[in-house]
């Protein structure tokens, strides 16, 4: 089974408060109707790729709750309830606990002062990379490595380039031995042994694409990336992410994806 072969997904419908979510560009005002439409297109793409998608209700209390990947990590072997590094997002983990216990026999949890965001975690066939960032600290990375060891997975802590918010903002898994990355991430020398496909200059945000079964989901605003991957033989599905992008977000963070163990 490939690590991007999924049949299950969890997403959360955006609440109206999503427009108040964390963002670096305060001048880029997101539009709720646009975010909701983009989210619906995203859910439709997951279903078209063959996944059963559970849609959780909005959490108006937590504007960023649409990004369900940050408070949890899910694998076929079990789940880990994380602790998001942004203080306003800590409550999201409590909202995810019952969802995880309903879907997984084993749910492990990070403890106080251990912070790790799902956006800093890249799962590859042999290694799970945990990127240090403003949202993931050393205690959190160390604790997560220990939890993953319990689940039978090997993890490695690496440094995220200073200019990058989340590790996966700048890198994604394209296939079992290939990653797509920005130039800054590719030059970090983290991914020895992998083939590296560089994102075209000016389209760095396209690095947060999402491989789901045989489909590669990419933001529709990145034509050179789409053309490059299509010519390389990938089944590319372009999705609107204009409004969601205003919240410093991309395609991976809006879902939790896994395959049930057979």
Which residue numbers are catalytic?
Answer: 166, 253
Given a contact cutoff of 8 angstroms between Cβ atoms, the answer to whether 217 and 48 are in contact is no
Beta-carbon neighbour count of residue 184 at 10 Å? 16
The rounded distance, in Å, linking the Cα atoms of 138 and 133 is 9
∠57-169-9 over CA atoms, to 5°?
35
- DSSP code of 151? T
Are the beta carbons of 145 and 157 closer than 8 angstroms? yes
Instruction: Write the CB contacts of 262 (distance below 8 Å, at least 6 apart in sequence).
Output: none
Residue corresponding to tokens 């937590």: 62
């Amino acid at each position: 089974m490939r690590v991007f072969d999924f049949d299950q997904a969890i997403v959360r419908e955006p609440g109206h408060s999503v427009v108040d979510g964390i963002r670096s560009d305060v001048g880029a005002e997101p539009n709720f109707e646009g975010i909701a439409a983009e989210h619906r297109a995203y859910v439709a793409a997951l279903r078209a790729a063959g996944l059963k998608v559970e849609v959780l209700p909005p959490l108006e209390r937590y504007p960023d709750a649409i990004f369900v990947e940050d408070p949890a990590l899910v694998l076929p072997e079990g789940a880990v309830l994380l602790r998001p590094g942004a203080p306003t997002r800590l409550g999201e983990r409590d909202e995810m606990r019952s969802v995880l216990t309903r879907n997984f026999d084993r749910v492990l949890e990070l403890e106080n002062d251990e912070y790790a965001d799902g956006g800093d975690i890249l799962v590859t066939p042999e290694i799970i990379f945990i990127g240090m960032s403003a949202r993931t600290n050393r205690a959190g990375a160390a604790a997560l490595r220990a939890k993953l060891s319990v689940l039978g997975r090997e993890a490695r802590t690496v440094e995220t380039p200073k200019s990058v918010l989340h590790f996966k903002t700048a890198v994604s898994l394209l296939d079992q031995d290939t990653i797509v990355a920005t130039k800054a991430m590719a030059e970090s020398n983290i991914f020895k042994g992998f083939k590296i496909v560089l994102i075209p200059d000016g389209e760095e945000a396209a690095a947060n694409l999402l491989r789901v079964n045989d489909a590669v989901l990419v933001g529709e605003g990145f034509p050179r990336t789409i053309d490059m991957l299509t010519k390389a033989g990938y089944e590319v599905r372009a999705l609107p992410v204009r409004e969601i992008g205003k919240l410093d977000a991309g395609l991976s963070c809006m879902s939790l994806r896994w395959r049930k163990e057979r």
